[in-house]
């Protein structure tokens, strides 16, 4: 998952706590092994090395691909799991290195959900295309772990994978978990917000230290897959609270994709959010 993962639980039975930890960690590794684009031999590697061949995928991968299709549609094409290849051109290290326009344009030939053929359960990528579940994998993993935990116990639990989290269990009036939202780059923790999360998910999309600074303009690392360039006017971070971590994460991502209109978008969706610019 690329970040520390933890399970917090109210259980006072040590055996139960141990079992819950085993369940969550097993599921975390299972999802990572299956969907990571860095591991050779898994289904994602097979798909990305298919070179135009049709690959038959299982129900879980099919569900994720259907979900990615929905997000592509909801975002008018801005959310696109085939856009990962553009990352090879951009280095977001705070420097002023931007790629050449021709390089970007030729890379764009391999980007675009509409360029692949998805007919459940068969997926056919055009040669040179890659898919990357990084944009929704972590939130999906959090929710999967939560489903397993809730099936096992009614005790209050919090699944937290590096700031993408979900709270399960407990009674309707239980006090929530205290979750802090930091102000990026403010180490003293004097600012920020404190949230009580009793139920549901919280996810954050942010640029933190990944940006490019050119001619005084700051470009976040969220790329527009139709142009190959960073979206302008993105907030430094967006945190959303929703019924599940996946919904929270997707709303945060869609907000970022709206750039300067992030807050307006979230206001219209009537969700609880915290936006830092």
Partner 1 sequence: MIRKNRKSIAATLATATCSLLGNSIPEPVQAQEEPGWDFNTALLYYVEGDDRVDDLSLNVLARKTFLDDRSLSLGFAFDTLSGATPVGAVPFDSVQTLTRASGRSTYSVPADAIPLDATFWDTRYAIHANWQQPLGRLYSIDTGLSASFEYDYTHIGANFKLSRDFNKRNTTASIGLAFASDDMDPEGGAPVPLAPMLDVGDQSNKTGDESKDVIDVVLGVTQVISRNMLVQLSYSFSDSSGYLTDPYKILTVVDPVTGDPVPRVLAPGAEGPSHEYRFESRPDSRTKHSFYAQTKYYMSGKVLDASYRFMTDDWGIDSHTVDLRYRWPVGENKYFEPHLRFYSQSEADFYRISLVDGVPLPSYASADYRLGDFDALTVGLKYGWTLASGNEMSARIELYKQDGDAPQDQLIGNQLTREMYPDLDAIIAQFSYRFGR
Least distance from partner 1 to the Cβ atom of residue 52, Å:
28
Least distance from partner 1 to the Cβ atom of residue 77, Å:
10
For partner 1, which is the closer residue by CB, 98 or 148? 148
**Distances in whole angstroms, Cα of residue 162 to Cα of each of 1, 90, 150, 152, 253:** 8, 24, 20, 23, 16
Burial of 112 (0-12, 13-18, 19+ CB in 10 A): middle
Pick from 117, 121, 166: which is nearest to 146 by CA?
Answer: 166
209 binds partner 1 (CB under 8 A): no
For partner 1, which is the closer residue by CB, 17 or 147? 147
Task: Tell whether omega for the bond before 121 is within 30 degrees of 0, i.e. cis.
Answer: yes
Binding mask 129-148 for partner 1 (x = CB under 8 A): -----------x--xx--x-
Instruction: Give the interface size with partner 1 as a residue count (CB under 8 A).
Output: 51
30 binds partner 1 (CB under 8 A): no
185 binds partner 1 (CB under 8 A): no
Least distance from partner 1 to the Cβ atom of residue 189, Å:
6
Angle between helix 134-152 and helix 59-74 axes, rounded to 10 deg: 120
d(Cα 34, Cα 21) in Å, to the nearest integer? 20
d(Cα 225, Cα 81) in Å, to the nearest integer? 9
Residues 6+ apart with CB under 8 A from 63: none
Binding mask 224-263 for partner 1 (x = CB under 8 A): -----------------xxxx-xx--xx--x--xx--x--
For partner 1, which is the closer residue by CB, 89 or 271? 271
28 binds partner 1 (CB under 8 A): no
The total of other beta-carbon atoms located within 10 Å of residue 4's CB is 9
Residues 79-138 that bind partner 1 (CB under 8 A): none
For partner 1, which is the closer residue by CB, 11 or 98? 11
- The residue written with tokens 């050119």 in the block is 214
Least distance from partner 1 to the Cβ atom of residue 241, Å:
4
Q: Please pick, from the candidates 42, 67, 87, 148, the single residue that binds partner 1 as defined by CB under 8 A.
A: 67
Got the DSSP string for 116-181?
SEEETTEEEPPTT----THHHHHHHHHHHHHHHHHHH--S-EEEEETTEEEEE-S-TT---EEEEE
Report the interface residues with partner 1, using CB under 8 A. Answer: 63-64, 66-67, 70-71, 74-76, 78, 140, 143-144, 147, 171, 173, 176, 178, 180, 189-202, 241-244, 246-247, 250-251, 254, 257-258, 261, 265, 268-272
């Amino acid at each position: 998952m690329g970040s520390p993962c933890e399970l917090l639980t109210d259980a006072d039975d040590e055996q139960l706590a141990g079992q819950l930890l085993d369940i969550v960690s097993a599921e975390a590794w299972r999802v990572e092994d299956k969907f990571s684009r860095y591991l050779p031999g898994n289904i994602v590697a097979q798909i990305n090395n298919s070179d135009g061949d049709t690959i038959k995928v299982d129900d879980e991968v099919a569900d994720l691909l259907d979900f990615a299709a929905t997000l592509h549609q909801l975002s008018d094409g801005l959310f696109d799991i085939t856009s990962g290849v553009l990352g090879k051109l951009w280095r977001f290290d705070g420097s002023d290195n931007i790629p050449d326009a021709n390089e970007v344009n030729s890379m764009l030939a391999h980007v675009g959900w509409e360029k692949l053929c998805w007919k459940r359960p068969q997926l056919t990528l055009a040669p040179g295309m890659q898919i990357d579940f990084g944009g929704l994998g972590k939130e999906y993993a959090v929710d999967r772990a939560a489903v397993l935990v809730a099936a096992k116990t009614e005790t209050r639990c919090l699944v937290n994978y590096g700031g993408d989290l979900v709270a399960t269990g407990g009674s309707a009036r239980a006090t929530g978990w205290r979750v802090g939202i930091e102000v990026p780059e403010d180490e003293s923790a004097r600012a920020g917000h404190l949230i009580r999360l009793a139920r549901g998910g919280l996810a954050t999309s942010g640029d933190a230290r990944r940006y490019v600074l050119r001619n005084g303009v700051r470009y976040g690392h969220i790329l527009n897959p139709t142009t190959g360039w960073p979206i302008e006017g993105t907030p430094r971070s967006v945190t959303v609270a929703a019924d599940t971590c996946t919904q929270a994460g997707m709303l945060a991502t869609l907000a970022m994709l709206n750039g300067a209109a992030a807050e307006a978008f979230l206001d219209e969706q009537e969700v609880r959010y915290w936006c830092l610019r």
